[in-house]
Amino acid sequence: MMKFLSTKGKAVAIMATNNEYYHAVNHKQRYRLIVDSELWGYMMALASLSAPNEVLGIGMITKRCVGYSTDFIVDEIFVPRQEVAANYCSFAEGAQNEIMNDILERGDSTEKLCFRWHSHGNGSVFFSTIDEKDIDNCDSPYVVNMVVNAYRDSIARLDILEPVRVRNIPLEILVDINEEILERTKCIREIKEKCKMVPLGMQKVDPSAWRG
């Protein structure tokens, strides 16, 4: 479902997730994932152009609390070197450390690197048992995960890991539609440079590596 509203003069699209797990938190509290349309278009184009293969990325998050709303704002997206297939995506060896080193070298902290997203190619969007294991292995106070597909379906969740574990808090996804959409040529270049196709059945099984 999609509807529109105006926030500080900007049009925003809202894609609502289900409320199955709201019992885990204060029912009055709103939890929202906010993505500007440039980053949103970037992720959607990557998902579409990668299909039927999956693709993954990570990102920097700013947390903002205002009244009954807790917002998680995506500031930046990184596409790592990775191995992909129609039902699989995983960091290439050393790829996550490369991104973290780049962040540190420019003088920023990796503490905000709490956003993970991946696509399901032409499939439906859901959180798999592999996703659950990856979330459990995170070492940050919280992590925001989103799954998308080539049809622009999406679902997002918040998992609080410290000080108390709270699982699968659904997030509203708000997309600022006032920004320009990133050119497809950049997405095509990212896929060619960073996504290594691996045959079905030949994927590595590494419990320490994040997979979609």
CATH code, domain carrying 27? 3.40.140.10
Looking up tokens 């990796």, which residue turns up? Answer: 110
Mean pLDDT of 18-32: 57
Domain contains 208: no
Q: What CA–CA distance (Å, rounded) separates 194 from 76?
A: 18
Domain contains 207: no
Residue 97 belongs to domain spanning: 2-197
pLDDT of residue 101 exceeding 70: yes
Nearest alpha carbon to residue 87 among 7, 147, 151: 147
Domain contains 206: no
Task: Enumerate residues 6+ apart whose C-beta is below 8 A from 45.
Answer: 181, 182, 184, 187
Cis peptide before 207, with omega less than 30 degrees from 0? no
211 — pLDDT class (breaks 50, 70, 90) = low
201 — pLDDT class (breaks 50, 70, 90) = confident
pLDDT at 104: 95
Report how many domains make up the chain: 1
pLDDT at 170: 94
81 — pLDDT class (breaks 50, 70, 90) = very high
